[in-house]
Amino acid sequence: MQTLLVTGGAGFIGANFILLARQLQWANIINLDKLTYASNLGNLAELQTDKNYHFVQGDINNFELVSYLLSQYQPDTIINFAAESHVDRSIFSPQNFINTNVLGTFQLLEASRFYWQKLPSAKQKQFRFLHISTDEVYGSLNPQDPAFREDTPYAPNSPYSASKAASDHFVRAYYHTYGLPTLTTNCSNNYGPLQFPEKLIPLTILNAVDGKPLPIYGDGQNIRDWLYVIDHCQAIYLVLQQGKIGETYNIGGLNEKTNLTVVKTICAILDELVPQLNLSYSSLITFVKDRPGHDRRYAIDCSKISQELGWQPQENFDSGLRKTVQWYLNNSYWVNQVRSGAYQNWLKQNYDNR
């Protein structure tokens, strides 16, 4: 069985990937995570007795630690999920995004290069460095523009997307300069279980259940392509197994929705599952001042991964969203654990003056 070094594996997408990898016996897992605000070891509690899963707390910027883990565990693959990923937070504190997304990826690439160059020839051919990125690096689309392709020019508009664009370019450079066998995936907006509730879908679910306002930026007509996290994880594994070295693969859910439509759909599901007497949750919708540089539309053309690797998302938006709402309703203990004082302070900082 393969051994994977997964960075950022206690976060939303990384944790879902690790849980699926161990459930389906894809690989042994070494999980390196700094345990920032959006990380949660509770996401992986069911693996505490799994002898083929190991957690290490640490920073991808720590070259010595990463080098030690590579030497100690001899992984066949590195999957880099580690990233600061919330656009709003990047507007308040861009430095954190530079440190993790740019410098951290660089340190990880450097440690991987030195490790890979010392491997025997057969192990070198087997090794992969898979970098997880975002569709936001491509910028913003107008309503009639074609969806983002892998060859769409980069045009990032936020400190977050700029930092991810830089990290993508470093990954590409390490393949072309050093021959490091890299792969990059650029995904659309993920949703599903275990997502930290600063993001639109979990924020809306939890605010609605608490009877709090449901904030929507601007006119609510910003469009995103929504990808169920398990579909994303399955695509990542397929790219890892069959993707062509040095290539990029776009992964999308084929679900373009306005933010207002997303929130209204969540409200309709909650009206059905936990009805309030003489009240629709949609009455809580509140339009707030738009965030600076808010991209109007993202859309992913995922025909490359579909045609070359045979991947298609299994969840449509309605089925995936219903599963997500039900998960948050069923996991109040997890919700209460992550909604700490720091989280409440963030909500106050970001929304109170809009």
Given a contact cutoff of 8 angstroms between Cβ atoms, the answer to whether 296 and 252 are in contact is no
pLDDT at position 306 is 98
Whether 136 is a known active-site residue: answer: yes
Catalytic site residue from 115, 160, 191, 228: 160
Tokens 């997890």 belong to residue: 334
- Enter the pTM of the model: 0.94
Instruction: Report the range of poorest mean pLDDT among 26-30, 88-92, 126-130, 316-320.
Output: 88-92
Question: Strands 223-228 and 256-258, how do they pair?
Answer: antiparallel
Q: Identify the structural domains of the chain with CATH numbers, from first to last.
A: 2-193+228-254+295-316 (3.40.50.720)
Catalytic site residue from 33, 59, 135, 231: 135
| pLDDT tens, residue by residue, 237-256 | 999 999 999 999 999 999 99
Tokens of residue 292, six digits: 């600076």
Split at pLDDT 50, 70, 90, the class of 353 is low
Residue 343 has pLDDT above 60, yes or no: no
**Dist. CA 114–CA 109, nearest whole Å:** 9
Average pLDDT, the chain: 94
| pLDDT tens, residue by residue, 97-112 | 999 999 999 999 999 9
| pLDDT tens, residue by residue, 31-86 | 999 988 888 888 999 999 999 999 999 999 999 999 999 999 999 999 999 998 77
Whether 135 is a known active-site residue: answer: yes
pLDDT at position 345 is 63
- Tell me 154's DSSP state: P
Given a contact cutoff of 8 angstroms between Cβ atoms, the answer to whether 30 and 6 are in contact is yes
pLDDT at position 291 is 84
Tokens of residue 324, six digits: 């997500």
| pLDDT tens, residue by residue, 150-185 | 999 999 999 999 999 999 999 999 999 999 999 999
CA-based nearest residue to 163, from 109, 91, 226 = 91
Catalytic site residue from 59, 84, 88, 136: 136
